[in-house]
Amino acid sequence: MNILVINAGSSSLKSSLFQVVEGKVDATPLWQAQVDFTYRPEETLIQTRRRGGGWVSFPSIPPQAGINGLAPLFQSLWQGEEALLPGAKAIDAIGHRVVHGGSLYQRPTQISPIVEQTIEQLIPLAPAHNPAALEGIRLLGHLAPGIPQVAVFDTAFHQQMPAAAALYPLPYAWAEQGIRRYGFHGINHEYCARRAAELLNRPLSELRLITCHLGNGCSLAAIRGGKSVDTTMGYTPLEGLMMGSRSGSVDPGILIHQLRQGMSVEELDRILNRESGLKGVSGLSSDMRTVLEAMEAGHKRAELAFDLFIHRLRSQIGSMLMNLDRLDALVFSGGIGENSAPVRAATCADLGFLGIQIDPVLNAGSPRNCDISTFDAAVRVLVISAQEDWAIATACQAVLQGE
C-alpha cells in the first residue's frame, strides 16, 4: 500500500510518499518534496528527495501559480522514465493535513463532496490554511481520480475537551455561532502522546501528559488518558503562548484601544500575527536560533524576548497542570522543543518541587525520542521529534481499514 501525504500551508507545502510494510506505515518515506512559495518574488523553491538520497531541485514555477502549478511535481511520481510508481493508480490513498475541521470533525475523515464543502465553509476560521488544503485536495482529485482522499484535521484531537475548557466567558449566543476554543497542532499533540506511552512503556490510557509543540507556532496540550482536556490555542492559532511572530494571548483591551486610535483591522491582524512574538520583542527575527545567538552576544532585547517566551511558557504549563490530577511526563516537540537545549533548560529550571528535573548532560546532547530527566525525577521529561506526515499517513491507513 502506498500513501501520499500532502501538508499544504499558506506559503509552503510538504509532501511525502509512504509505503505500508507488514501492516505499518514505514517511517522513512519513499519520496519527499518541499516547496517554498516565498523563496524569491518570481521563483518557488521546489526540492525532492528519494529514500537514501539527498535533496535535489525540481524545476521551479512562478509563485502565483500556487498549488495548482505543482501538477508536474506530483505527476513526476508516476510519469516519465524515472517514475517511482507505475501509474497514479499505484497510490492507494492520499492524506491531507487540514488545519480547521470546526466542531464537526472529531477524527480523520474520507473526503466526499460534503466534506470538501465543509472545509470550504470553514475558510473564515482558517483563512491562511484551509484554502491551501482545498487546492491540494482538488488538484489531486483531478490528477489521480478515483483514489480515496482523507482529511486529517489539526483541530480534531481537541474536539472532546470539556465545555469549561472549550468555551469563552462571552455571551453564550456567540458560542452558538461557533465562537469557541478549537485548539490546533492536534496531529502532533496526539502523536507525541502515543510516542510518549511507547517510550515510557506504559499504557496511554493511564498517562497524564503535557505536550509542548514549540515551532514557529507554539501550543500546549494537557492530555489525560490519551484525550486532550485543555490546550492553549483557541478560536484561532493566535491564542496562548508567545510564538515566533504571533503575540499569543494579550489583553483584548489593548486591541480595542488600538482600534479606537484608528488602527485598521488589517493592520492589527498583521501586527498580531506577523510582527509580534519573538520578532516583535527582539526587533530581530522570529527565528529562535537568531534570538539565542543575539542573546549570547549580549543583545538586550533578544534576552528580553527569550525571557518573555519562557515566562509565558512556564505560566501556561502551570495552567495545563491544573487540568490533570498528576503529571507523568512533560514532552518537548517542534523545531524549538526538539532542538533548543537552552529553552528546555530554562523551562524546567527550579521545578524540582513539581518533580521535574532534567539531566543537563542528556539535555545538551541533541536528544531525540528519549527521556532527559534525572534518573530519580518523579516526572519524566521527553524530547519527541514531530512526525506530522507519518502521523497523517497512519491516520489515513486507519480510515481506509475502517478503524
Q: Is residue 335 part of an annotated ligand binding site?
A: yes
Q: Does 293 bind ligand ADP (CB under 6 A)?
A: no
Segment lying near ligand ADP (by CB under 6 A), choices 29-37, 175-183, 230-238, 332-340:
332-340
Which cell numbers hold the place of 351?
A: 521545578
To the query of whether residue 328 is one of the catalytic residues in this protein, the response is no
Length of the chain: 403
Residue appearing with cell numbers 512562478:
62
Q: Does 305 bind ligand ADP (CB under 6 A)?
A: no
Q: Is residue 317 part of an annotated ligand binding site?
A: no
Question: Reduced to 3 states, what is the DSSP secondary structure of residue 394?
Answer: helix
CA angle (95, 15, 3) in 5-degree steps: 40
- CB within 8 Å of 301: residues ≥ 6 apart: 281, 282, 283, 284
Of the pair 265, 361, the CB lying nearest ligand ADP is at 361
Binding ligand ADP (rule: CB under 6 A), the pick from 92, 135, 275, 287 is 287
Query: Rounded to the nearest whole angstrom, what is the least distance from the CB of residue 341 to ligand ADP in the complex?
Result: 8
Question: Reduced to 3 states, what is the DSSP secondary structure of residue 175?
Answer: helix
Which cell numbers hold the place of 79?
A: 510519469
CB distance 358 to 345 below 8 Å: yes
> How many C-beta atoms surround the C-beta of residue 329 within 10 A?
25
Q: Does 334 bind ligand ADP (CB under 6 A)?
A: yes
Q: Which of 26, 36, 92, 154 is catalytic?
A: 154
Query: Backbone dihedral region of 236: left (phi > 0), alpha (psi from -120 to 50 degrees) or beta?
Result: beta
- CB within 8 Å of 55: residues ≥ 6 apart: 34, 47, 48, 49
Binding ligand ADP (rule: CB under 6 A), the pick from 272, 320, 336, 399 is 336
Q: Does 326 bind ligand ADP (CB under 6 A)?
A: no
Q: Does 95 bind ligand ADP (CB under 6 A)?
A: no
Q: 135-140: long-range contacts at Cβ-Cβ below 8 A with a sequence spacing of 24 or more? A: 135/8, 135/66, 135/67, 135/68, 136/6, 136/8, 136/13, 136/67, 136/96, 137/96, 137/111, 139/67, 139/68, 139/70, 139/71, 139/74, 140/4, 140/6, 140/74, 140/94
Nearest residue to ligand ADP by CB is 335
Q: Does 102 bind ligand ADP (CB under 6 A)?
A: no
Quick one: 40 exposed, middle or buried, by C-beta within 10 A (0-12, 13-18, 19+)? Answer: exposed
Q: Does 135 bind ligand ADP (CB under 6 A)?
A: no
Which cell numbers hold the place of 208?
A: 497524564
Query: Rounded to the nearest whole angstrom, what is the least distance from the CB of residue 338 to ligand ADP in the complex?
Result: 8
Q: Does 244 bind ligand ADP (CB under 6 A)?
A: yes
Q: Does 132 bind ligand ADP (CB under 6 A)?
A: no
Segment lying near ligand ADP (by CB under 6 A), choices 45-53, 125-133, 212-220, 231-239:
212-220
Q: Which of residues 164-193 bind ligand ADP (CB under 6 A)?
A: none
Segment lying near ligand ADP (by CB under 6 A), choices 192-200, 263-271, 310-318, 331-339:
331-339
φ, ψ of residue 224 to 5 degrees: the values are: -115, 120
Which cell numbers hold the place of 126?
A: 482558517
Q: Is residue 214 part of an annotated ligand binding site?
A: yes
Of the pair 154, 328, the CB lying nearest ligand ADP is at 154
Binding ligand ADP (rule: CB under 6 A), the pick from 289, 311, 326, 368 is 289
Q: Is residue 334 part of an annotated ligand binding site?
A: no
| CA 52 to each of CA 30, 31, 279: distance values in angstroms, whole numbers, following the listed order | 9, 9, 36
Q: Does 358 bind ligand ADP (CB under 6 A)?
A: no
One-letter identity of residue 162: P
* Contact string 215-234 vs ligand ADP (x = CB under 6 A): xxx-----------------
Binding ligand ADP (rule: CB under 6 A), the pick from 16, 231, 340, 347 is 340
Residue list, annotated binding site for substrate: 97
What is the set of active-site residues?
A: 154
Sequence ranges of the binding site for ATP? 14, 213-217, 287-289, 335-339
Binding site feature residues: 7, 14, 97, 213-217, 287-289, 335-339, 388
Residue ranges binding ligand ADP (CB under 6 A): 215-217, 244, 287-289, 292, 334-336, 339-340
Query: Binding site membership for Mg(2+): which residues?
Result: 7, 388
